[in-house]
Amino acid sequence: MRVLVIGSGAREHALVLALRKDPSVTAVYAAPGNAGIAQHAQVRAVDPSSGAAVTALARELDADLVVIGPEVPLVLGVADAVRAAGISCFGPSAAAARIEGSKAFAKDVMTAAGVRTAHSEVVDNPADLDAALDRFGPTWVVKDDGLAAGKGVVVTADRLAARDHGAELLEQGHPVLLESFLDGPEVSLFCLVDGETVVPLLPAQDHKRVGDGDTGPNTGGMGAYTPLPWLPAETARAIVEDVVRPVAAELVRRGSAFSGLLYAGLAIGQDGPAVIEFNCRFGDPETQAVLALLESPLGELLAATANGTLDQVEAPRWRDGAAVTVVVAAENYPGRPRVGDVISGAEDSGKSDTAAVLHAGTQLRDGQLVSAGGRVLSVVGVGADLAEARANAYARIAGIKLTGSHFRTDIGLAAVESRISV
């Protein structure tokens, strides 16, 4: 099987590495890719948001399967274009990707499916903002009502900060979504979904805030770990049975059956799991940790999902132990990141059992590796338990140099110290 992976982040780097380990995968291509991915796959240029361009490239490469990493192409219908050309594609149709692309659609589906989620209101007129804020908070949750890569969200007990963020979004012409605050530890549960067939992967936890101890602004994700020692097995089962299956069934009922990776982001509160958001693709940085523990051949799982035969595949197998991803970010991320700095110590032979360095915002300039984005690298540590996986990730990071870069030192630490309970 010849596979083309669309995207350029550390998530796609992890997908490429896992696909390379699958004996049924004979060739892996990536587009646009990045400097790290280029060491493991032939990288090609493409506009990932153009269905015509992705389809033409898949034809040229004689790809049997196209795997679409990011949400933007999915929301724009790139998977529809690839499938219309007769090529298998891992990723939902534009209609099903609305579960991520339209917060109103997602809420509507959840209500119809009887799934618990935050109460919400959309504000599109500055004159309505104050009265709406009075109906929420504290704590206030203020979101950009569109795709914002996780950075359009402010969660705060400070009414002024909530108001400022809402007013700024409205000034930019973006409607504002206010939500009730969902308390409790967060879980990211990725499920392969093919219509009503739902196959969960290992639960993971992201760390959204930029600073240690969950301080500072929200980011696209600064690190993640899997599995979650504090999550009871029956809660994980309840997420599949009471959240993901009903939503998958509701999408089928509406004629927008989901095919691909459905990502449920939840808060585990006093009354059980409640949905913060659905995403229509693998999450970043959780994927880097989850795939590090996958023993089953990834190509087979993705192809079966894409081809409508997921119900015939044996459940994924996982290696024992734990994995931790730590994101190395550029100076000033999540603001406008400093780019163009030389990175040293990131070389990865791909042979270490304990740590890997995956690339996100990197580029080669005159043969040197330089930073080219906010989240630059994902360092993945694997170990017999979470403490060992953390130690392996941080030991590997110590050898990497990038001027001004920063990373969180506490990824997975609260779980190691048993400070999380549900």
| Residue whose tokens read 């490469």 | 61
Q: What is the DSSP string of 164-185?
A: HHHHHHHHTT--EEEEPPPPS-
- The reply on whether position 226 binds ligand GLY by CB under 6 A is no
Between 208 and 396, CB nearer to ligand AMP: 208
401-420: contacts with ligand AMP (CB under 6 A)? none
| Closest to ligand GLY by CB, 137 or 221 | 221
Whole-angstrom Cα distance, residue 184 to residue 422?
8
- Minimum CB distance to ligand GLY, residue 419 (Å): 21
Nearer to ligand GLY, 194 or 284 (CB): 284
**Per-residue interface string for the shown chain with ligand AMP, residues 141-170, x marking contact by CB under 6 A:** x-x------x--x-x---------------
Least Å distance, CB 66 to ligand GLY, is 20
Sign of CA dihedral 194, 198, 204, 210: positive
Q: Does 284 bind ligand GLY (CB under 6 A)?
A: yes
Q: For residues 155 and 138, what is the distance between their CA atoms, to the nearest angstrom? A: 10
265 binds ligand AMP (CB under 6 A): yes
Q: Which residue, 181 or 394, has its beta carbon nearer to ligand AMP?
A: 181
Query: Which CB, 152 or 299, lies closer to ligand GLY?
Result: 152
Query: What are phi and psi for residue 290, nearest 5 degrees?
Result: -60, -45
One residue of 206, 250, 300, 348 binding ligand GLY per CB under 6 A: 206
Please identify, using beta-carbon distances, which residue of 83 and 207 lies nearer to ligand GLY: 207
Residue 125: burial class (beta carbons within 10 Å; 0-12, 13-18, 19+): exposed
Which residues lie closer than 8 Å to 170 by C-beta, 6 or more apart?
123, 124, 125, 126, 129, 176
Q: Which residues contact ligand AMP by CB under 6 A?
A: 118, 141, 143, 150, 153, 155, 179, 181-182, 186, 208, 218, 265, 267, 276-277
Q: Which residues contact ligand GLY by CB under 6 A?
A: 150, 206, 221, 279, 283-284, 286
